[in-house]
Every structure is written in structure tokens, then in C-alpha cells.
Amino acid sequence: MFISEATTKLNMTEDDLRMSLMGVRDDWDSCQEISDSEYQLISQSVGATALPPSDESTDSTEIQPVADMPIEKQQTLIDNVSQILGYQMVLSVQRRIEMVDAIDKLTNQVILNNRETNQKQLAALIAQQDDATKAELLQAINTLQGLVNTPVEIPQQSNMSDFHNAIANVQKKIQR
């Protein structure tokens, strides 16, 4: 069977198929065909590795030896295929972990950005409410001062010292 035909039937890359032949054939890197017994063992190995283990012990997942190849070479071929498929599974799991990690990092960044935006909006709202409260209190002081017949100027932008000064002025006038 040609290598290209075997890779298609086994759903393997040519490199993986050739790597599984390493240690079994001297020309593993340049051969164009594999024997039926090699194909049979690789096919059984791929099938046994791809199937999940079942509770029932059946012979369908066990790899049957072939008669025209030494047992040592058969075992090497089976081990090579298992290692190659196992390595591919490990790489697949690693890629999935990297993708999930990237999504987690992105999610955390979005959460942090939203938190920062919310904190800025809250700080601006609190400052706005403080300014409105100061203006109302200064207006109340001005009203009280108007009762004393001495108006207090309400500054456009007030701070706490203006507030305390206005209260002190009203208190002075009341004490006179």
C-alpha cells in the first residue's frame, strides 16, 4: 500500500506514519509503500488508541499480532504509533489550555477596565453631588445672612474654606 493511501485511510500525517515506521524499517524516511502487515498493525494501533477504554474486555481493542513480522518489530511499531498519537493528544490539550487561559486573561482585563470606568463615573457623580450640596448650603447661609441685612457672595466654584468663612461671617454678625 502506498504511503499516501495509508495516511488518508488512517487519518494521519505522512510524517507521523513515517515516524511510526522508524525502528521497524531502515528506509522509514524514504519508502513509498508499506506492507500489509505494517498497515494492519498501524491501523489496529490507531483504532485502539482512538477508542475510549470500555468496562467490558473485548478483543476488538486489543492489537492482534501479524504472522509475517517479528514480534520485536511489531511491538516497536505499536509503541511508536502510540507515542505519536499520545504526543498529538498532549499538544491538542496544551493548545486548548492556552486558549482557555487567553480567554480568562481577556475576561479579567475586561472586568478590570469596567471596574475602573465605574469608579471614575462614581467619583465624578460624588463630586457633582458635593458641589450641588455646597451651593445649596451657601444659598441657605446667604438667606440667613439676608435676614441680618448683610448679603454674602456665593462664589461660582466653592470649596470648604468658602463654606467655613461664610458661616464665620454670619456668626460674627449675629454676635454684634
How high does pLDDT run on average in the chain? Answer: 79
- Residues 33, 1: contact at Cβ < 8 Å? yes
The cell numbers describing 75, all together, are 511491538
Does pLDDT of 57 surpass 60? no
- Higher local confidence (pLDDT), 89 or 24: 24
The answer to whether residue 130 is domain-embedded is: no
Per DSSP, the three-state class of 57 is coil
| Closest to 131 in 3D by CA, of 163, 107, 102, 85 | 163
Q: Where are the alpha helices (DSSP H) in the chain?
A: 3-10, 14-21, 36-50, 71-147, 160-175
The answer to whether residue 96 is domain-embedded is: no
78-88 confidence digits (pLDDT tens): 887 777 777 77
- Residues 19, 80: contact at Cβ < 8 Å? yes
Q: What is the pLDDT of residue 124?
A: 94
The answer to whether residue 115 is domain-embedded is: no
95-127 confidence digits (pLDDT tens): 888 898 899 999 999 999 999 999 999 999 999
Does pLDDT of 141 surpass 90? no
The answer to whether residue 135 is domain-embedded is: no
Dihedral sign from CA coordinates of 65, 70, 71, 72: negative
The answer to whether residue 146 is domain-embedded is: no
Q: What is the pLDDT of residue 16?
A: 85
Beta-bridge partner residues of 2? 33
The answer to whether residue 157 is domain-embedded is: no
Residue with cell 470500555: 54
What is the arithmetic mean of pLDDT over 117-143? 90
| Number of domains making up the chain | 1
The answer to whether residue 139 is domain-embedded is: no
The answer to whether residue 40 is domain-embedded is: yes
What residues make up the domain containing 41? Answer: 3-84
Ranking 54-63, 76-85, 128-137, 145-154 by mean pLDDT, the lowest is: 54-63
- Higher local confidence (pLDDT), 143 or 63: 143
CA distance 28 to 74: 15
What pTM did the predictor assign?
A: 0.40
CA distance 53 to 61: 8
Does pLDDT of 150 surpass 60? no
Does pLDDT of 162 surpass 90? no
What is the arithmetic mean of pLDDT over 31-36? 90
- Residues 18, 53: contact at Cβ < 8 Å? no
Residue with cell 502510540: 82
39-54 confidence digits (pLDDT tens): 888 888 776 554 444 4
